[in-house]
Structure 1
């Protein structure tokens, strides 16, 4: 892990370097209307990890594996959830996933491990990396009264959430944002959910794809989560149209 005290690099250099997650262009392959099987699978995995429903999580994990997700991709979703739902939910999710894998192994099923995160460039500053990722997905530098009131939360967000976690390239930025909004819809955390629904569109997910996200919540997670997300998505879409 790069040192937090190392010499900072330019944000653009960090974004261009290996190890920085990309904005996926899977939407082009899906004609801008559909989510990929992996994207669909991430939604219930994240939601059930965040809300602690281990019975439904087991089924979602199996479906994710059957849809072609690798072990490391699923682990990455579950680990990311601790930033939103805490270590207990994330650790329980990992225990649940381990049990699913052991059961499948016992039945002769060998699931693909997949790639691990690419090491960051030597000497990279985790603060600069996290700031670059955060600015990229939000579309502007992030400031505000809450960060002045509690500056340490700004440090944790930039260095840990967007640097240590989002800076890992096992998942791309669209996949991480789908995991994030699924978790926030399930907690629930409405102000953050609205913000990240907007970020989903900043990183290239289309309105039809976000409508598909809501449909998956409705079919696989819960009607409350779906209605909450649809209401906030409507507000985000309207706001973006007015800003054009």
Structure 2
């Protein structure tokens, strides 16, 4: 893809060498400064040929006959990244916001965050993009050699993107996450993205969860369970995303474990009888109060359907269901009282304060800092005296 002459060099995509359709500015004067005014340069969506996900490129300045380099801001939405590529003259990157990854063929992946600078030497195959839990913008200054500033290669696969040296997805940037098992950690973003409706990030989280050993039925059960908290529309969208992801993996030759099937309720009890027992066990005492006096039907539905029909299905244990519930509630606005209630329930079913803190850490790293902070505040409010 080598192109000769200043006109072609001036319109090369600064981030990774994508060729634009026209010159960005007139040829610089040899005797005066040239202004490239803010907002006047070309902006465009990163082409699907060279990117996965949603990427925006904002050109800053072209190369010229004296300075054989160009510059651009490139913004990656969560989960987005470049294809594999190299730069004949190398590239500088400066992260201006968010958190991202850059990886090389040796399997090493470097996490980069706001303020970090990185130099990629000439002819090194690499990729870069955002994490699953954060967008990322970087300023790139890309050199050109003999009129060429990039050599494009194959797109980065999901397994290459997710298979970093910190574990599947960025689950252990904070060592406190180790209090949860790998499978429990991967339940957190699946539940959060199901509840908040972010299906693009849910797809990536499902892939990571399957690769970490969660079965298809365990992931189904998270979404079935969450209909009681996030509603049928979000649960159905989540299940459709899971179905499409599993079918795509199957077509690619990846065999995922189906997992165990749902259990039947005890034959000698109604759903409400069984559910009342489960509710009492989870909360630690029979549930009463002014709200249920005001609307007793809602507690009947909670007992018979949520704690009876859903909790009685098995597949996920109580800890797993509470990990999913807390993760979902933390990702929804206006449900802080319910989040606090389920922090208490999670503690009652055996999740320690350390494990719940780990859950908050996973949310911060992979979903959003607001969700993580919200969970940590609820933990402190409910379990302030527990160490």
**Deviation digits for residues 15-41 of structure 1, max 9, x if unmatched?**
xxxxxxxxxxxxxxxxxx611111111
Calculate the aligned-residue CA RMSD, in Å.
Answer: 1.4
Instruction: Please give the residue correspondences for 1:6-25 in structure 2 after superposition, counting only pairs within 5 Å.
Output: none
Write the deviation string for residues 184-213 of structure 1: whole angstroms up to 9, x where unpaired.
Answer: 101131000011011111111111111100
4+ runs deviating over 4 angstroms: none
Shift of 1:159: 0.5
Q: Report the Cα distance in structure 1 between the residues aligned to 2:266 and 2:225, rounded to whole angstroms.
A: 22
Of the candidates 336, 357, 368, which is equivalent to residue 211 of structure 1? 357
Q: Give the aligned partner of residue 369 of structure 2.
A: 223
Post-superposition offset of 1:240: 5.7
- Among 74, 90, 94, the residue aligned to 2:235: 90
Tell me if structure 1 keeps the 8 A contact 2:187–2:323: yes
Picking from 148, 161, 164, the partner of 2:293 is 148
Comparing both chains, which one has the higher relative contact order based on Cα–Cα distances under 8 Å and sequence gaps of 6 or more?
1
SS at structure 1 position matched to 2:190:
helix
2:323 alignment partner, one of 170, 178, 181 = 178
Note the C-alpha offset of 1:236.
Answer: 1.1
Gaps of 5+ in 2: 1-177
Q: Does 1:100 align with 2:245?
A: yes
- How far apart, in 2, do the equivalents of 1:233 and 1:226 lie? 11
CA–CA distance in 1 between the matches of 2:236 and 2:210? 19
Deviation of 1:239 after TM superposition, in Å, equals: 5.6
Deviations 1:111-131 (A, max 9, x none): 111101122232321111101
Tell me whether 1:116 sits opposite 2:297 in the alignment. Answer: no
C-alpha deviations, 1:118-151, integer Å up to 9, x for none? Answer: 2223232111110111110110000001001111
Partner of 1:25: none
Distance in 2 (CA, whole Å) between partners of 1:76 and 1:52 is: 17
TM-score normalized by structure 2? 0.53
Aligned counterparts of 1:106 and 1:100: Cα–Cα separation in 2: 10
Q: CA deviation at 1:44?
A: 0.6
Q: Secondary structure at the match of 2:179?
A: coil
CA distance in structure 2 between the aligned counterparts of 1:139 and 1:82, rounded to whole angstroms: 24
* Counterpart check, 1:234 vs 2:380: yes
Aligned residue in 2 for 1:64? 209
Name stretches of at least 5 consecutive residues in structure 1 with no aligned partner. 1-32
Please point out which of 212, 225, 240 is paired with 1:80: 225
TM-score (norm 1): 0.83
